[in-house]
Amino acid sequence: MAPDFRSPAATVRHGIVPPFLLARIARLDQDDYDHAPEAARRTLGIDGPFREQRGSDGSMPGLVRPSLRPELQHPVAGSAEPGSPDRLIFDAKGTEDLPGEEVRREGGPETEDTAVTQAYDGLGDTYALFWDAFGRDSIDGSGMRLDATVHFGQRYDNAFWDGARMVFGDGDGEIFRGFTGSISIIGHELAHGVTERTAGLVYQGQSGALNEHVSDVFGVLVEQRVLGQTAQDATWLVGAGIFTEQVKGVAIRSMRAPGTAYDDPMLGKDPQPAHMRDYVETSDDNGGVHINSGIPNRAFVALAEALGGNAWERAGRIWYETLAGDRLTPTATFAQFAAATAVVADELYGDDSDEARAVADAWESVGVEPGRVRDRMRRD
C-alpha cells in the first residue's frame, strides 16, 4: 500500500540548511576555523539517517530518532480558543534528546533566554498570519499545539520540522548564528507542518522543491507582516542575518533573485536557478529540493510585485487556497502546481481579473507552462 503522505506518520525531517551547503562547510580546513567544519560534520551525522533511509518511491515511513520518546513523537491537540495560539517551548540544553525540558508555555512569563523568547514570539506571529489572513487555526486547522525545542545539539547548524515540533540549533558561531534569530526560518518550519497536513507534497524532485518553496513563501510572508512591508519594500530573503559577518552572503536563499543569496570563497555560490531552462537534474538533496525551489520562488515574487500591496493578501491567499484545496496530488510537478494556482485565481477573482492574468504571467516569466493541465482542472 502506498504511504499516506498527508499523515504525520509519513513525516520527513525538513531542515532549512541544505545538505550540500553543510557538506561544503564540513570539507573546509579545520585550521581556518575553531568549530565550523566539525559542527557541519556533526550536523550531517544527525540529519543523515533521515535522508538515507528513504524508500525507492521517495517515501520515508515514520522514522523517529532513538532519543525521541515514542509518546512524544505525535502532535498534541491545543487547548486555546480558535484565533489564539497554544505554544509550548522546550530547551534541549545542548543535547539531542527531544523534546527537552519545558521552559515556557502559553501565557507564561518571558524568560531571560533570548532563543526561548524568539521561538515563542515567532510561533505566535506565524499562527497570526495563518489565522488572520487565511482563517487557519494552527498547523492542522484544528488548534494543534505549537511545540518548539531550542538549543538542540552542540553547535547544531540547522532548524527542522519533524512532524510534531519545530527544532532549532544554535549554530556554530562562525558561519551560522542561532536559528531562532530569523523569523522567516521559524515561519518556514511551521509551514512544513501545514503542507504535511494539506497537499502532503512528497519531499522528492519537483514536489519536494514545491514543498520547500511553499515554506519559503509563508516564512517570508510572516516576516513581511511583522515588519509591515509591502511586496515592493520586502527583501524576500529566507534566513536573513543567519550568516555571521565572516560570510559573504545575506541569507540562505533569495526569492527575488535566486542564486544571489551568497557568494563566498569558502561556501561557494548560491546554486539556485530562477528559470526552468536552468533546472538542475541531480540525485543529491532529494532531487534538488532546496535548489530548484528557486524557480517557483521567483514566480511568486513576480506575482506579488505585479499585484502590489501586501503580498499575503492576494498572492498569499491564492497560494494558500491552492495548498489547502483538493487540486494537488502529493507528487505535483511545477506545471501542475502552476495550473492549480491559475484555476484558484480564476475562482477567487474571475478568469479575466488582474490576479488571474498576473498568475499566468508570473509562471510564464520562469518558463513554467501549465497549459493543458490548467484546462483539464477547469473542466474537472
Rounded-to-integer distance, Cα 252 and Cα 270, Å: 8
CATH 3.10.170.10 residue ranges in the chain?
A: 8-196
Rg value, the chain, Cα: 19
In terms of pLDDT, which residue wins out, 162 or 209? Answer: 209
Mean pLDDT of 159-168: 94
Other beta carbons less than 10 A from residue 223's beta carbon: 27
Q: Which amino acid would we find at residue 189?
A: E
Strands (E), 121-280: 146-150, 159-161, 166-168, 237-238, 253-254, 263-264, 268-269
Phi-psi domain of 86 (left: phi exceeds 0; alpha: psi -120 through 50; beta: other): beta
Q: Which of 151, 196, 290, 305 is catalytic?
A: 290
**Is 196 tagged catalytic?**
no
pLDDT at residue 79, as a whole number: 72
pLDDT at residue 96, as a whole number: 95
pLDDT at residue 66, as a whole number: 33
Q: Which of 106, 174, 189, 305 is catalytic?
A: 189
- Kindly tell me if the per-residue pLDDT of 188 is higher than 50: yes
Rounded-to-integer distance, Cα 178 and Cα 151, Å: 9
Grid cell digits, residue 248: 559573504
Against a cut of 0.95, is the pTM above it?
no
* Residues 191-235 pLDDT 10s: 999 999 999 999 999 999 999 999 999 999 999 999 999 999 999
**Residues 231, 307 contacting (CB under 8 angstroms):** yes
> Taking the CA of residue 191 as centre, how many other CA atoms within 13 Å lie in the half-sphere pointing to its CB?
29
> Taking the CA of residue 296 as centre, how many other CA atoms within 13 Å lie in the half-sphere pointing to its CB?
29
- Kindly tell me if the per-residue pLDDT of 86 is higher than 90: yes
| DSSP-derived secondary structure letter, 9 | G
- Kindly tell me if the per-residue pLDDT of 74 is higher than 80: no
Smallest CA-to-CA distance from 315 within 242, 249, 224 is with 224
In terms of pLDDT, which residue wins out, 124 or 76? Answer: 124
Smallest CA-to-CA distance from 208 within 304, 337, 316 is with 337
H/E element, 36: helix 36-52
| DSSP-derived secondary structure letter, 138 | S
Rounded-to-integer distance, Cα 182 and Cα 120, Å: 12
Mark 300-328 as b/e (b = at least 16 C-beta within 10 Å). bbbbbbbbeebbbebbbbbbbbbbbeebb
- Kindly tell me if the per-residue pLDDT of 59 is higher than 80: no
Rounded-to-integer distance, Cα 292 and Cα 284, Å: 12
- Kindly tell me if the per-residue pLDDT of 137 is higher than 60: yes
* Residue 90: strand, helix, or coil: strand
pLDDT at residue 1, as a whole number: 30
- Kindly tell me if the per-residue pLDDT of 359 is higher than 70: yes
pLDDT at residue 376, as a whole number: 60
Domain 205-379: CATH superfamily is Neutral Protease Domain 2 (1.10.390.10)
CATH 1.10.390.10 residue ranges in the chain?
A: 205-379
* Residues 280-325 pLDDT 10s: 999 999 999 999 999 999 999 999 999 999 999 999 999 999 999 9
* Residues 9-55 pLDDT 10s: 344 678 999 999 999 999 998 888 999 999 999 999 998 754 443 33
Smallest CA-to-CA distance from 248 within 233, 231, 238, 261 is with 261
> Taking the CA of residue 237 as centre, how many other CA atoms within 13 Å lie in the half-sphere pointing to its CB?
16
Instruction: Compute the C-alpha angle 32/35/37, nearest 5°.
Output: 70
β-strand 146-150 against 87-91: which pairing, if any?
parallel
Mean pLDDT (the chain) is 89
- Kindly tell me if the per-residue pLDDT of 131 is higher than 60: yes
pLDDT at residue 85, as a whole number: 96
Question: In the beta sheet, which residues pair with residue 254?
Answer: 237
Strands (E), 39-96: 87-91
pLDDT at residue 6, as a whole number: 39
Grid cell digits, residue 296: 517557483
- pLDDT level of residue 144 (50, 70, 90 thresholds): very high
pLDDT at residue 10, as a whole number: 42
Q: Which residues neighbour 365 within 8 Å (Cβ) at sequence distance 6 or greater?
A: 298, 299, 302
Grid cell digits, residue 294: 528557486
pLDDT at residue 22, as a whole number: 96
In terms of pLDDT, which residue wins out, 370 or 187? Answer: 187
| DSSP-derived secondary structure letter, 103 | E
Smallest CA-to-CA distance from 218 within 260, 188, 189 is with 188
Mean pLDDT of 327-350: 97
Residue 243 backbone phi and psi in degrees, to 5: -80, 150
- Kindly tell me if the per-residue pLDDT of 275 is higher than 50: yes
- Kindly tell me if the per-residue pLDDT of 61 is higher than 60: no
pLDDT at residue 300, as a whole number: 98
Rounded-to-integer distance, Cα 307 and Cα 338, Å: 17
Classify domain 8-196 by CATH number: 3.10.170.10
